[in-house]
Amino acid sequence: MDDRTFRNAMGKFATGVTVVTTEFQGEVKGMTANAFMSVSLDPKLVVASIGHKA
């Protein structure tokens, strides 16, 4: 993904709350994160903040 596409995607989040999903060994898991934000362009990093009791 080029830098502009990454920036455009990160700019679409109006609030920090989002649903984070992943697939591992054919099983899909999801949860809400109370904060989601980009950290850097090089390397491309994001942070998903998850509550301690989640």
pLDDT of residue 54: 66
pLDDT of residue 6: 93
- Residue 45 structure tokens: 């990093």
How far apart, in Å, are the Cα atoms of 18 and each of 22, 33, 41, 47, 49?
A: 13, 6, 20, 11, 10
Mean pLDDT, 10 residues at a time, the chain of 54 residues: 92 80 94 86 89 74
pLDDT of residue 20: 86
Distance separating alpha carbons of residues 27 and 42, to the nearest angstrom? 30
On whether the CB atoms of residues 9 and 18 are closer than 8 A, the answer is: no
